[in-house]
Structure 1
Amino acid sequence: MKYDLTTGSVSMTMLKFSLPMILGNLMQQLYNISDTLIVGHFIGTDALAAVGASYALIIFLTSVLLGLCMGSGALFSIFYGEKDYFKLKSSIFISFILILILTIIINIFIFIYIDEIIYFMQVPSEIFDLTYTYLYIIFIGFSFSFIYNYFTCLLRAIGNSKTPLIFLASSALFNIILSIILVVNFQMGVAGSALGTVIAQGFCALGLTIYTIKKCPELIPQKEHCKFDLAMIKDISNSSLLTSTQQSVMNFGILLVQNLVNSFGATVMAAFTVAVK
């Protein structure tokens, strides 16, 4: 469902547009709490500490991509409001490729330097392997997180905030069910928790992509839109970089706090994880 802010009551339309976004944030927090309960109850303190240490890094890197997607989304909404579909499709193509390239670079960097990153995070040696396993599996599906956030921001740019909520709610429920099955039934430990998250994210990203292609053909770039225009790259950069910085700077601070907490050992890390979640 799309909401047109240019007609009718602005306050009511904004409220209807904002509610799914608020509910989406609450849904994400409920999933985080559920995930913490499953890991803490069925795997143990060390596993909870490893997941908590990983969570700070994952959220920081995800917030970088989310900020870029949100900044691009602001530009999409301008072109959509102007009904300039050529610039809209061109900006969608360029921003998608640029953020995808950054996602791949981050992925490669993580896989090459994962040991050094874990040492930098001051993760205790007794949970090093658990942290390594969880991070490695999560970053296999890191591109799913980018795809979901990108298409969420794209749909919101044209006034559709309800569809991303539906996919997010389905994904969160699917994630919880998978985590229980993999952790409790198959006893896969932190690997099961991470694998459940990756599969659920993939389901959500694929579903949202298919929905956008099928239901919003006016957003899909054609051959003539798939060109790199320097002026458009500049507009996207101006719109995205500050938003990305704003989204990520607080999470970088939390990452540094997490590093300090890690120096106190697994038990303190687990307690900190519970409090943060």
Structure 2
Amino acid sequence: MKDLTKGNITKLLFAFAIPVLIGCILQLTYSLVDTRIVGSALGESALAAVGATSSLSSLLIGFLQGLTNGFAVIAAQFFGAQDFKGLKRCVAASLSLGCAIAIFITAAALIFLHPLLMLLNTPADVIDLSGNYISIIFAGLIISMLYNVCSALLRAIGDSITPLIFLAVSVVLNIFLDLLCIFPLAMGVRGAAVATVISQLIAMLACFFYMIKRYEILRLHREDFHGISGELTKDLLSCGLSMGFMSSLVNLGTVALQTSINTLGTDIIVAHTAARKISELFMLIFSVFGTTMATFCGQNLGAGEIRRIKEGIKKSVLYSWIWCLGVIVVTWLFAPDLIYLVTGSSNPVVIKNAVAYLRFDTLFYFVTALICVIRNAMQGIGDHITPLVSSSLELVGKVVFALIFVPLLGYRGVILAEPVSWFIMVVPLLIQICRTPILKEKRAD
């Protein structure tokens, strides 16, 4: 356990953030390796089939991850206030609500699978492959949710290392199962999905049993489930759904763009899939500091340490901006090589479009960093509305580009969509963070 309410803020931020960062790198490394294995072993059509549905799977998985991170914010507040009885009830409620919501989403996604693929404008030549892949991913959503809720609860009490260890095991197993299912077993794109679900199941079981054995404050009894109050449920749903919908609105915008991208041909789909994989790697540090700030602010709010919240926000933005400078240099020097490493493709159309996306969008990562830190910090201090407003603006911006500018400008419209949306969505966050009563009332500190 790590108490984030005492001690040097910079050391605490990095001590918490580094394991989270390594975990995110492991996840993306697997994603990149998975992309390379699918592309090299099964060809560009299979890679396009997976890429055409990636925004949809990210939408649902991102919602569940945001939901569990929201639950963890409430848990962090109980931990910061040293209310361990309330923490146990919070854990019990998080597991119960998370399972119920995940089951509902899984059922709805499987029932409406084909209409969803049609809505995405999935190309006819890959729609069957896409369905084969994404249906298995959907079936494993409850496993993903349970792993995320266990990991988030461990981070809520300051343990960001244990989830990393189990994730590392899962990633190694995932790659091994990928190779097994795609090559000797010849399962095609289904094999990549099966490998993902099985490895997540093993990670989830290991994380859950370790959590309840290692930490007595997370060890549940029957009365913890019976003692869940309506107020606690309301708080969890308020924060969890807010962070879940915040993530979903971002991903819905990506889905909207994907519907337009899927009309531009297989080469563009592959180019954008590769560029997005690399973008996700570059933007990891932003989501890492966002996750860190949600827990940091939650614990310090519970402990009444408002000055530390303000200092933590400033430092997180500064460190994120330093990262942005490095990303810009790497992108302009090595973008073509990075695209080839991800796809294994020498197709000049793929390379040219993916490089154009990366070199332009990375110039505006400073805005993205600011967004990620502030909106997660605001969730941590109890403002669940402003982050949703901000994410809604991003959704609107991407929908407008998908409907108007991509048909007019082609892939250049996709390249422009995100930077324009970022500048719009940061405005309400900056206005509200300066007006937040909790942060203003202690200004004399």
Query: TM class, shorter-chain normalised?
Result: over 0.9
**What is the number of equivalent residue pairs in this alignment?**
276
CA deviations over 1:197-241 (Å, ceiling 9, x no partner) = 111111111111111121123212222221341111111123222
User: What residue number does 2:179 align with?
Assistant: 180
- Does residue 95 (structure 1) correspond to residue 94 (structure 2)? The answer is yes
Please provide the CA RMSD for this pair. Answer: 1.4
d(CA) in 2 for partners of 1:102 and 1:4?
30
d(CA) in 2 for partners of 1:237 and 1:115?
30
User: What residue number does 2:274 align with?
Assistant: 274
Unaligned runs of 5+ in 1: none
d(CA) in 2 for partners of 1:83 and 1:118?
47
Q: Is the 8 A contact 1:46 1:267 kept in 2?
A: no
User: What residue number does 1:48 align with?
Assistant: 47
Moved more, 84-93 or 262-271: 262-271
What does residue range 106-145 of structure 1 map to in structure 2 within 5 Å? 106-145=105-144
Q: Is the 8 A contact 2:65 2:244 kept in 1?
A: yes
CA deviations over 1:72-125 (Å, ceiling 9, x no partner) = 101111112222122111111122211211110111011111111111111111
Residue identity in the other structure for 2:262 = N
Q: Is the 8 A contact 1:103 1:143 kept in 2?
A: yes
Q: CA deviation at 1:5?
A: 2.1
Q: CA deviation at 1:19?
A: 0.6
Residue identity in the other structure for 1:15 = F
- Does residue 25 (structure 1) correspond to residue 4 (structure 2)? The answer is no
d(CA) in 2 for partners of 1:78 and 1:172?
31
Q: Percent identity?
A: 34
User: What residue number does 2:300 align with?
Assistant: none
d(CA) in 2 for partners of 1:124 and 1:14?
45
Q: 1:140 to 1:8 in 2, by over 3 A?
A: same
Residue identity in the other structure for 1:254 = T
Residue identity in the other structure for 1:232 = L
User: What residue number does 2:239 align with?
Assistant: 239
Q: CA deviation at 1:14?
A: 2.2
d(CA) in 1 for partners of 2:94 and 2:165?
25
Q: CA deviation at 1:272?
A: 1.9
User: What residue number does 2:201 align with?
Assistant: 202
**TM-score after normalising by structure 1:** 0.95
- Segments of 4+ moved more than 4 angstroms: none
User: What residue number does 1:3 align with?
Assistant: 2
Q: CA deviation at 1:256?
A: 1.1
Residue identity in the other structure for 2:193 = A
CA deviations over 1:171-204 (Å, ceiling 9, x no partner) = 1111111101211222211011111111111111
Question: For the pair shown, which has the larger CA radius of gyration, 1 or 2?
Answer: 2
Q: CA deviation at 1:266?
A: 2.9
d(CA) in 2 for partners of 1:79 and 1:118?
42
d(CA) in 2 for partners of 1:186 and 1:225?
45
d(CA) in 2 for partners of 1:203 and 1:223?
25
User: What residue number does 1:263 align with?
Assistant: 263
